[in-house]
Amino acid sequence: MKNQSLSEFQIALGNFKKNRWALLSVYIIFILYVGAILADFLSPYSYKNEDRKFSYCPPTKIHFLKEGKLSWPFIYGVQLTFDEYHKRVYKINEKENYPLHLFSRGDEYKFLGIIPGRLHLIGTSQPARFYLLGADSRGRDLFSRILYGARVSLSIGLIGVLISFAIGLIVGGMAGYYGGVVDNILMRLCEMFMMIPGFYLLLALRSAVSDKFSSLQVYFAIIIILSFISWASLARIIRGMCLSLKEREYVLAAKAIGLTDFKIIVRHILPHTLSYSIFALMLSVPGYIIGESALSLIGLGIQDPYASWGNLLSDAMSIVRIKFAPWILWPAFFIFLTVVCFNVVGDCLRDCLDPLLKSEKKIS
Amino acid sequence: MAFLLRNFQKSNLPMWSYILKRILIAIPLILAMALLTFLLMRLSPGNFLDTIRMDPQISQETIERYQKLYQLDKGPFEQYLHWIKNLLHCEFGYSFYYNVPVSRIIGARLFNTFILSFASFLLTWFVALPLGIWAALNRNRWIDQCIQFFSYVFLSLPSFFLAMILLYWASQLGVLPLGGMHSPNYDQMNFLGRTWDLLKHLVIPTLALSIGSIAWLQKIMRGNMLEILGQQYILSARAKGLPENQVIYRHALRNAINPLITLLGYEFSGLLSGAALIEIICSWPGLGSLMLTAVRSKDIYLVMASMLMGGILFILGNLLADLLLAKVDPRIRYEGR
């Protein structure tokens, strides 16, 4: 039938699409995630590729005009010198001129960990270095490191949120459904977790994790720790919703058929909490990204040589460095952009799904 | 005297029982937190003595003496009992890193964190409330849209990024001190000089902490005001002929602020935790930076004491919030029986 009535979700989605800012944010998030996945290809250099001759090199200017005529983009070579205050000055040498190559052969990588490749989107010929956003202390390209860092920061946001939501939904669902002693115990547990100041717990848990862990293990440990400190508030709210949802007739019908408690919770009650869960999920991702950045910033998170946005910012903790190399603040801009986008999407989802929530409450 | 007694007996009994109940609940929570802290430290591999063992100059006997002194050779359960017993005597153990009893460092650092949190709290509430009210009264005009836009931006800005930017600007302007709490010549200043010095050092950390909270609180205040201003009794107050500022400040504002009172307590307890990262970046000598040093040097007693302090203050903040709520909202008092 052509004129089928739309479900409430579809109406909400339609409303969502009408909001320009929300759509823009979704596109930006999508671009960031694609950039993270294709980091190997999109970045001119590997995250490890260092060249100490270009330490703290400012961003390279791309020139399009050669002797007044439009030409293929090129860059000039730079030479490191020191001025009379022993400050680094990069003198541009206009005699050396290096055109940019598209789809050039560069550092080796393994796409998705299995497919080896050497293709990079942009590159130049040696010995020039193309620094889109400048270089860090070891001459590593900041733009490449930001792309590789996006992998860590964005994935921690996503995976951490999913884990804490799984825990929160199950605990909240059980507490709300069973009520009584189970509810009491679980809620006291939640309160205990909410009582401890988050950052302190983060530090303490991180110190409990062994120093001898490999980077991958530290990565998973951080995800688990971040989920650990954040599941409690969600569990409380889900429990409140389940307390009212379990009085509905279809739950009684399901019990009469003989469905097990677990199936009732998972298949019948929890889906109705979805409208709250989705936007709460979106609104908590920024917390995880900032949490991981904060940990890496103080040196307890992802370590060198691996990149994460927080890790890259630990360089920026010194004011002297910011003054003479302000481009090292670029990772913070990316963090900010991601957080703004997730906040906008979350807010818009909440506004769209609000009537859904209200109707849930009315029927009960 | 009789008047006071009468008041106490008549209407405050439900409230006192509510307060007592909340305090009683807080105690097992504190014990649970102590247990959690202890477990975390036990989980942490290696202890302070490992670094000393590496040093060839220190003999085996000294190491063993340290072990006996700090009970590091006994089992975990005995260590825990010993620690709890000491806690009740307000003895938090010994810091290996600083070589002083923990209680000496914690006191000063706690006070510093408290100064920062309090300053941030004052700034937040004294700026956000008027801003929110003003935004509500000028709804959707350009000034309101401006405020909302900046609120959104500052809400999403990570506070540590803001601290870095503020430090950078301060270094450009050269007026404010860049981190730390005291200038080098602090001891030679008189009282007025010291206060001024403290205020100058407070500016950047307080701003970095407060701006996010101002954005958030302003939004809530504006939302509350708008909701109240749409109510019937405001309409009737206006119809009665009350002057506009009486309608707003005597009727609307009082009701709009009510829900925010609970936020007051919760925000205070949240501030202590949020201040930790800013303290580290701005080199403010508070509980947060102490915790970080302790974690890095595996100074067990210091970590446990800091975390316990942080947790206790958090619980106290929540208690304060509950008490304020009980005072402001009569329904809670009678339900709390």
* Residues contacting B18, CB < 8 A, separation 6+: B322, B326, B332, B333, B336, B337
> A208 and A78 share a domain?
no
Domain membership of residue A17 (yes or no) is no
Model pLDDT for residues B185-244, shown as the tens digit of each residue: 777 778 888 888 888 889 999 999 999 889 989 988 888 888 888 888 888 888 888 888
- Chain A residues within 8 angstroms (CB to CB) of chain B: 191-192, 195-201, 203-208, 210-212, 286, 290, 293-294, 297-298, 300, 313, 316-317, 319, 322-323, 326, 329, 332, 335-336, 339-340, 343
Low pLDDT (below 70) residues in chain A:
1-9, 210-212, 355-364
Final residue of a structural domain among A115, A140, A165: A140
Domain membership of residue A156 (yes or no) is yes
Between A192, A208, A293, which is nearest B43 by CB? A208
Q: Is the pLDDT assigned to residue B144 strictly greater than 90?
A: no
Q: Counting beta carbons within 10 angstroms of the beta carbon of residue A68, is it exposed (0 to 12), middle (13 to 18) or buried (19 or more)? A: exposed
Domain membership of residue A2 (yes or no) is no
Q: Is the pLDDT assigned to residue B335 strictly greater than 60?
A: no
Tell me the torsion sign for CA atoms B71, B75, B78, B80: positive
Final residue of a structural domain among A98, A117, A140: A140
Res B2: pLDDT: 57
Final residue of a structural domain among A93, A124, A140: A140
CB contact under 8 A, A210 and B168: no
Res A179: pLDDT: 80
> A185 and A242 share a domain?
yes
How many separate domains does chain A show? 2
Mean pLDDT in chain B?
Answer: 78
Distance CA A219, CA A238 (A): 28
Overall average pLDDT of the B16-23 stretch? 75
> A155 and A265 share a domain?
yes
HSE value, Cβ hemisphere, 13 Å, CA-based, for A69: 3
CATH number at residue A250: 1.10.3720.10
CB contact under 8 A, B155 and A343: yes
> A136 and A157 share a domain?
no
Element (H, E) at B264: helix B253-282
> A99 and A246 share a domain?
no
Domain membership of residue A126 (yes or no) is yes
Model pLDDT for residues A329-343, shown as the tens digit of each residue: 899 999 999 999 999
Q: Which residues of chain B lie closer than 8 angstroms to A196, CB-CB?
A: 33, 36, 307, 310-311, 314
> A64 and A206 share a domain?
no
Domain membership of residue A3 (yes or no) is no
Q: Which residues of chain A lie closer than 8 angstroms to B168, CB-CB?
A: 319, 322-323, 326
Gap between the terminal Cα atoms of chain A = 32
Between B164, B269, B298, which is nearest A329 by CB? B164
For residues B83 and B38, the answer to whether their CB atoms sit within 8 Å is yes
CB contact under 8 A, B46 and A211: yes
Minimum Cα–Cα distance from A324: chain B residue: B168
Between B45, B157, B307, which is nearest A204 by CB? B307
Overall average pLDDT of the B106-130 stretch? 88
**Mutate which: B150, B160, B169, vs A, most A CBs within 10 A:** B160
Model pLDDT for residues A24-36, shown as the tens digit of each residue: 999 999 999 999 9
Complex-level ipTM = 0.80
Q: Between B271 and A232, whose confidence is greater?
A: A232
Minimum Cα–Cα distance from A300: chain B residue: B296
Q: Is the pLDDT assigned to residue B316 strictly greater than 90?
A: no
Overall average pLDDT of the B258-267 stretch? 76
Minimum Cα–Cα distance from B271: chain A residue: A197
Res A231: pLDDT: 87
Q: Which residues of chain B lie closer than 8 angstroms to A207, CB-CB?
A: 40, 44, 295, 298, 303
Mean pLDDT in chain A?
Answer: 83
Res B68: pLDDT: 66
Res A1: pLDDT: 46
CB contact under 8 A, A196 and B303: no
- DSSP structure string for A294-353: HHHHTTSSSPTTS--HHHHHGGGGSHHHHHH-GGGGHHHHHHHHHHHHHHHHHHHHHHHH
Res A203: pLDDT: 76
Minimum Cα–Cα distance from A200: chain B residue: B307
Distance CA A344, CA A328 (A): 26
**Mutate which: B25, B110, B152, B156, vs A, most A CBs within 10 A:** B156
CB contact under 8 A, A200 and B161: no
> A63 and A198 share a domain?
no
Distance CA A237, CA A187 (A): 11
Domain membership of residue A307 (yes or no) is yes
Beta-strand ranges (E) seen in chain B are 94-95, 100-101
Q: Counting beta carbons within 10 angstroms of the beta carbon of residue B89, is it exposed (0 to 12), middle (13 to 18) or buried (19 or more)? A: exposed
Minimum Cα–Cα distance from B280: chain A residue: A298
Minimum Cα–Cα distance from A319: chain B residue: B168
> A162 and A132 share a domain?
no
CB contact under 8 A, B281 and A329: no
Q: How far is A308 from chain B (nearest CA, A)?
A: 15
> A76 and A129 share a domain?
yes
Q: Which residues of chain B lie closer than 8 angstroms to A192, CB-CB?
A: 29, 32-33, 36
The residue whose two tokens read 């003895």 is B91
> A162 and A274 share a domain?
yes
Overall average pLDDT of the B152-180 stretch? 86
Q: Between B85 and B158, whose confidence is greater?
A: B158
CB contact under 8 A, B277 and A293: no
CB contact under 8 A, A200 and B318: no
Q: What domain range includes position A229?
A: 146-357
Res B336: pLDDT: 43
> A90 and A111 share a domain?
yes
* Residues contacting A130, CB < 8 A, separation 6+: A44, A60, A75, A100, A122, A123, A124, A141
Nearest 5°: the CA angle B4, B9, B11 is 100
> A104 and A217 share a domain?
no
Q: Which residues of chain A lie closer than 8 angstroms to B33, CB-CB?
A: 192, 195-196
Between A207, A297, A322, which is nearest B303 by CB? A207
Distance CA B85, CA A346 (A): 48
Res A187: pLDDT: 85
Overall average pLDDT of the B304-324 stretch? 77
Q: How many CB atoms lie under 10 A from the CB of residue B69?
A: 10
Res B47: pLDDT: 61
Domain membership of residue A303 (yes or no) is yes
Domain membership of residue A277 (yes or no) is yes
CB contact under 8 A, A298 and B36: no
Q: Is the pLDDT assigned to residue B166 strictly greater than 80?
A: yes
CB contact under 8 A, A343 and B158: no
Between A198, A204, A297, which is nearest B160 by CB? A297
Res A28: pLDDT: 94
pTM of the model: 0.84
